[in-house]
Amino acid sequence: MTTETKSIVLISKDSKPFPEIGAALKADQQYNYEECSGTLTEMNGRASVLADTHDLILFQTETDTEIDVLAIKRLREANGEKAVILALSGAETTLADAQLLTRAGVDGVLAETISPDELEAEISKRLKPKIQLPALMPDQGTLGKVITIAQARGGIGATMLAVNFADHLLGKVRRKQDKPDCRVALVDLDLQFGSISSFLDAKPNEALYQLSMDGTEPDATFLSQSMEHFPNGLSVLAAPSKLAPLDALKPQQVSKLLQVLQHEYDYVVVDLPHALVEWLAPVLEATDRMLLVLDSTVPAVQKARQLIDFYTEDNLTLQIDLVVSHEKKPLIQGRHHTEAAKALERPLRHWLPPHPKAAREAVDRGVPLSKAARSSSLNKAVKRLVTTIKAELAQAPHSAQQVQ
């Protein structure tokens, strides 16, 4: 394989920034490396020239993340997704800061203490796809987005959200013969207690049981034959009726399952189990947006904190939105809300009002809220949530492979 030289620029306010990193990159024949003094904001229009003329920009973050966020947004507007941008952050940068930077368009947030070897690995991982033959690489742009639904306690409304999120992703209510706007797959990875089948009057599906038992990796044909395809365009992989140990499924199998689905569908909505298993790792890696459903009670907030720590341990830039279930969005948030948001280092962003009648009607009929209770506040709240996330995912770079 021929490897062309890649150019890297480090933007740093320090006069002698990261000497070890600089020396290692200068010595590496694969790269043309230069340093620019200043902050990303101080570069003004020059940053977009640097982005046009370099394959990768490394920049040292400012103490005030908002300033960097503005600069990154401006840079992305001018330069699109052409250059890879990596942030080097100090100890003061929080998880929430890292997420803000990622949302603005940064491809990765790395610790300033990163060793030259680790940095080299991060850089070559991000530059590699561009130096491989396009025909050999899957088209990253056409990969479906993965939305993962997690719950801070049992019975909180996570499956209700997964089912209706997938339903609204399909697009407007259409005539029977019309095709849906998007291809959407809904996957019940709550293998032992999954209830998507009862929410949608679908048959339990033994495919995931079979995979757990025989250890094979699913391919496109297996999945297409295993999934139940609904007339409205939704494809569902329900949980099996037979019980298998949760850890019988292997990370490699789940990774392949998601890879295949991402190639076949525009969106893959995953309902997670309320348990921590090894195969969560590939799900988290592929996730473009996680929705963590909770309520504002102390036990739920405490559990949510633990889960966020677990989910982000190896996925620092995983974007987790909080969805407060069974609560109408308050005009003014109470103190317990403010404290919950502070403890969880992110806003209580989406709210799903309590609506037992609508929820019950939908479950009893085995149809989504859009059919059973279209004008209910609950259906409208889910629809709003989907519209927001869909718009944000359309803008965002594909996080799945980038946050590895």
Ligand X SMILES: Nc1ncnc2c1ncn2[C@@H]1O[C@H](COP(=O)(O)OP(=O)(O)OP(=O)(O)O)[C@@H](O)[C@H]1O
Residues near ligand X (CB under 6 A) are 151, 154-160, 190, 193, 195, 274, 325-326, 352, 354-356, 359, 363, 378
CB of 346 to ligand X, least distance (A): 20
93 scored as a contact of Mg ion (CB under 5 A): no
| CB closer to ligand X out of 202 and 352 | 352
> Measured at CB, which residue is nearest to Mg ion?
159
In the complex, least distance from residue 381 CB atom to ligand X, rounded to whole angstroms: 8
* Backbone φ, ψ for residue 371 (5° rounding): -95, -40
Choose between 43 and 161: whose C-beta lies nearer to ligand X.
Answer: 161
Residues in a beta bridge with 8 = 33, 56
The option from ligand X, Mg ion, none interacting with 274 (CB < 5 to 8 A, set by class) reads: ligand X
CB 151 within 8 A of CB 325: no
Task: Give the residue with the Cβ less far from Mg ion, 35 or 188.
Answer: 188
Q: Give min distance, CB of 62 to ligand X, in A.
A: 40
Nearest approach, Cβ of 215 to ligand X (angstroms)?
A: 26
Please choose which of ligand X, Mg ion, none residue 68 contacts, taking the beta carbon within 5 to 8 angstroms, the exact cut-off set by kind: none
Contact code string over 158-197 relative to Mg ion, x by CB under 5 A: xx--------------------------------------
Taking phi first (over 0 means left), then psi (-120 to 50 degrees means alpha), and beta for anything else, what does residue 257 get?
alpha
Structure token pair of residue 155: 């019975």
Q: Count, in order, helices (H) and strands (E) of the chain.
A: 18, 13
Helix (H, G, I), strand (E, B) or coil at 6: strand
Backbone φ and ψ of 164, nearest 5°: -80, -25
Residue 157 binding: pick among ligand X, Mg ion, none (C-beta 5-8 Å cut-off by kind) = ligand X
**Shortest distance (Å) from residue 372 CB to ligand X:** 10
Q: Which does 378 bind (CB under 5 to 8 A by kind): Mg ion, ligand X, none?
A: ligand X
Instruction: State how far the Cα of 14 lies from the Cα of 5, in Å rounded to an integer.
Output: 26
Instruction: Specify the residue, 125 or 380, whose C-beta has the smaller distance to ligand X.
Output: 380
The residue among 75 and 363 lying less far from ligand X, judged by its C-beta, is 363
Closer residue to Mg ion (CB): 23 or 276: 276
| Contacts with Mg ion, 142-161, as mask; x by CB under 5 A | ----------------xx--
- Total residues contacting Mg ion by CB under 5 A comes to 2
Give the count of alpha carbons within 13 A of 229, CB side only.
Answer: 9
Phi, psi of 33 (to 5 degrees): -120, 135
Residue with Cβ nearer ligand X (9 or 358): 358
CA distance 359 to 325: 12
CA dihedral 356, 358, 360, 366 (to 10 degrees): -160
Q: How far is the CB of 344 from ligand X (least distance, A)?
A: 18
CA distance 320 to 317: 9
Closest CB 163 distance from ligand X, rounded Å: 8
Whole-number Å distance between alpha carbons of 380 and 374: 8
Nearer to ligand X, 85 or 352 (CB): 352
**Distance, CA of 351 to CA of 343 (rounded, Å):** 18
Closer to ligand X by CB, 50 or 150: give it. Answer: 150
With beta carbons less than 8 A apart as the criterion, state whether 261 and 144 touch.
yes
Q: Among 208, 200, 189, 269, which Cα is nearest to 230's? A: 200
Rounded least distance, CB 204 to ligand X, Å: 15
Q: Measured from the CB of residue 354, what is the shortest distance to ligand X in angstroms?
A: 4
Kindly write down the DSSP assignment for every residue of 338-376, as one continuous string: HHHHHHHTS---EEE---HHHHHHHHHHTS-HHHH-TTS
Binding site for Mg ion (CB under 5 A): 158-159
